[in-house]
Structure 1
Amino acid sequence: MTTLIAFQPNNTASPPFQTNFTLDGASYSGTAWWNIAGQRWYLSLTDQSGNNIWTGALIGSPIGFDIPLAPGIFSASTLIYRADTGNFEQTP
C-alpha cells in the first residue's frame, strides 16, 4: 500500500515543510528546506532520537519511473517524491 503525503511548503514557516514518515515500521521526521545556492529543495530524515538518517536533494520522479530518496537506507520501505503530482509516496 502506498501512502501519499502532499508536499506543500510554506515559505513563512520555519522549517517551510515538515512531516512524519513511517519507513520500515519506524517513524521518521522529514524536514524540507530551500537551498538558495543549489536552487532546489533538500530533504532531511531524522529518527525519533533526533539522529540524522539521510539528507539529500529532493529529486522528483516522473510518472512511470521511480527515483528513491534515501536509497539503501531502508530494507522494505521506499520513499519517492513525485514531482508531477507534488506528493511524497511512501511504500509500504
Structure 2
Amino acid sequence: MKTTEQGLPLAVKVDPAELHRDPSQLAGELLRLCQRAAARAGLARRKQMEAAGMSAAALAATGLPTEAEVARQEIVEEQDYDTEPQSWLRTV
C-alpha cells in the first residue's frame, strides 16, 4: 500500500488469496493502515521541522503528532484489535 502524507491511498496491491476475506474486515484494515501512514508521515514532517530549527511552540501549533502520540495511537490500535492484523498489507 502506498499513501499520501494525509493517509489517502494511492496504490493498493491485493494478494488474490486475501480477496476471500470478509470485505468489511479488509476495508477496516485498509483504513487502519491509512491512518497509521498519515500519523507516521505527520511525525516525520514534525521531525524535519524540528531539525530545521522550528520552536517548540510553533511545532505545537502545527498540530502534527509527537512521537509519544503516534506510539500511544499504535498501542491503542493493537489493544483494540487484540492481535496483529493477519494480512499481506505493509505500511510504507
Q: TM-score, normalised by structure 2?
A: 0.27
Greater strand fraction, Structure 1 or Structure 2: 1
Greater helix fraction, Structure 1 or Structure 2: 2
Q: Which has the higher contact order (CA 8 A, sep 6+)?
A: 2
Higher radius of gyration, 1 or 2: 2
